Amino acid sequence: MSPRRADPTIRPVLVDIAARLLAEEGPQALSTRRLATEADSSTMAVYTHFGGMSGLVREMVREGFARLHHHLTRVRRTGDPVADMALLGRAYRYNALANPHLYAVMFGGSSLAGFSLTEEDRQHGRYTLGNAVECATRCFAAGRFRAGDAELVAHLMWSAIHGLVALELGGYLIAPYDADRCFEAQLAGLMVSSGDTLEAAAGSVAASRGRMRDEVEAVRTEPAADG
C-alpha cells in the first residue's frame, strides 16, 4: 500500500477525476472512498498528496490554470501581434474545451465542495494574463491598437472570450449562431474595438486560424507533477 500512496503519477489522475465528479455530480460526489474507487488507489491518497479535500480542490484550480498557461505560452511572437493576440484567444478556448471539468472549477463555477477560493488562488490564475498584456503592448507599438492600458485590454479580451466559452460549454450556442461562427466574429470585433481596422483585423484573425494546428492543437498538455 505504501508504494501506491507515494506514487506521484496518481496526483494528476485524482485531480482530473475529482474535477469531473464535481462538475457532473456536485460536491456530494467528492469523498475519499469514491475517489479511491475511480482512481484504483487507496483512500489515503488524497491526504498523502493534497493534505485533504480542500487541498485537492485548490490543486484542481491550480492545475487548470497551469494547463491554460501551457497552451498560451506556446503561441509564438511574430511580426503580426494582432494575429498573436487572436491565437491567444484560440488557445484559451481550446484549453477550456479540452479540460471542461477543470474549467468549471477554475472560476468557482461549482460550489467547490464548500471550499472558497482565496485571493491567493485567484492571483494564481491572474498570472496567465501576462501573455495577453505583453501582446497588447506589442499591438500598441505596431500601431494596430490605440495606445492605452495593456492590462485593461488583456482583461477585456479575457472577459469576452470567457463569456463565449461559458455559453459554449453550457450548450447555449447553436446554429446559425453556433460557437465557431460567434467566436470568429468575436475575435475580429475585439481587435477592431481595440483600434485595428476591420480589414487588417480580418486578415490577422484568418492568419491565426492557420497557425492553430501547429502552435496549439499539436501541443500535448502535461499535467503538473510538482508538489
- Residue given cell 475575435 in the structure block: 187
- Residue given cell 501573455 in the structure block: 131
The answer to which of 54-63, 73-82, 142-151, 203-212 has the lowest mean pLDDT is 54-63
On whether the CB atoms of residues 14 and 56 are closer than 8 A, the answer is yes
Q: Does the residue 183 lie in any domain?
A: yes
Distance, CA of 112 to CA of 108 (rounded, Å): 7
**Nearest residue to 131 via CA among 166, 161, 102:** 161
Between the two ends of the chain, the Cα-to-Cα distance in Å is: 20
* pLDDT at residue number 111: 53
* pLDDT at residue number 226: 42
pLDDT digits (tens, 9 = 90+) for 22-66: 878 877 888 889 998 999 888 898 898 988 888 888 888 889 999
CB atoms under 10 Å from CB of 161, counted, come to: 21
Residue 211 domain boundaries = 61-217
Question: What cell numbers appear for 182 in the block?
Answer: 460567434
Q: Does the residue 227 lie in any domain?
A: no
Q: Tell me, what amino acid is at 63? A: E
Q: Does the residue 69 lie in any domain?
A: yes
Q: Does the residue 50 lie in any domain?
A: no
Q: Does the residue 143 lie in any domain?
A: yes
Total tally of structural domains belonging to the chain: 1
**Nearest residue to 169 via CA among 111, 217, 100:** 100
CATH of the domain at 149: 1.10.357.10
Q: Does the residue 24 lie in any domain?
A: no
Query: Does residue 81 carry a pLDDT above 50?
Result: yes
CA–CA–CA angle 99, 181, 87 (5° rounding):
55
pLDDT digits (tens, 9 = 90+) for 92-120: 999 999 999 888 888 875 455 566 777 88
In this prediction, residues 77-88 reach a mean pLDDT of 98
Q: Does the residue 51 lie in any domain?
A: no
Q: Does the residue 4 lie in any domain?
A: no
